[in-house]
Amino acid sequence: MINRIRDIRREKALTLADVAERCLPPTTAQTIGRLETGMRNLSLDWMNRIAAALGVEPELLLRGEQSAQPQLVARLTDNGAEALAAPRDAILPTALGGDGPLMAILVEASAGEYRAGDQIWFRQLPDPDWSRHINRDVLAPRPGGRFAFGRLIDRQGHRIAILPPGSGQRQLVIENAAWLAAAEMLVRKL
């Protein structure tokens, strides 16, 4: 197996020392370099430590020799699309950062700015101080196995108000929501 530590580290603009410092417990840049190049075996313990330091899922650190990893080949600037000096692995945004678990919903009928076929990815928020997420699209559980989705417009005590997408919608008020997840990524086919 070939590891992708270097690719992910460079994608996140981190040095070997940065990754070494972020490991728990901290290690040396030399150790990270040896793990990157395969001069030292990447054990499960090291894989978990480095993945946490990079803010990715551990399985992203490994790839088979024949795997077809998506590639970044260009960047879009004010002057148009420009080729990168060398292609590099594309790291899925869902794997970058964040503490809470990920979840997604599939849009089957267009609503507001969302189109049929879209996938909206959410990250469950770790703290109950949800007021700092006002004006973000969120997903919250409701009684009976249902969900509320829309813009978080208010929070008072244990009550939140969510405005579903689309014109003419009425706000949904939820008491004592078990959790709240904020929209983090939209996947849309072109």
CATH number of the domain that 110 lies in? 2.10.109.10
Answer with the one of 41, 57, 90 that is the final residue of a domain. Answer: 90
Domain that holds residue 49: 2-90
CATH code, domain with 75: 1.10.260.40
Check whether residue 183 and residue 128 sit in a common domain. yes
Model confidence pLDDT, tens digit, residues 24-43? 999 999 999 999 988 888 88
What is the CB neighbour count within 10 angstroms for residue 77?
A: 8
Asked if the model's pLDDT at residue 98 lies above 70, the reply is no
Cα within 13 Å of Cα(159), Cβ side: 6
Q: 92 or 145: whose pLDDT is higher?
A: 145
Model confidence pLDDT, tens digit, residues 60-87? 888 655 555 667 777 777 777 777 787 7
Residue 136 domain-assigned (yes or no)? yes
Check whether residue 41 and residue 64 sit in a common domain. yes
Which of 70-79, 89-98, 109-118 has the highest average model confidence (pLDDT)? 109-118
Which of 2-11, 47-56, 121-130 has the highest average model confidence (pLDDT)? 47-56
Check whether residue 132 and residue 179 sit in a common domain. yes
Asked if the model's pLDDT at residue 21 lies above 90, the reply is yes
Spatial contact of 141 and 187, defined as CB atoms under 8 Å apart = no
Answer with the one of 40, 64, 90 that is the final residue of a domain. Answer: 90
Burial of 122-149, coded b for 16+ CB within 10 Å and e otherwise, reads: bbebeeeebeebeeebbbbeeeeeeebb
Residue 97 domain-assigned (yes or no)? no
Residue 18 domain-assigned (yes or no)? yes
Residue 149 domain-assigned (yes or no)? yes
Residue with tokens 């790839």: 63
Q: 119 or 126: whose pLDDT is higher?
A: 119
The domain total for the chain is 2
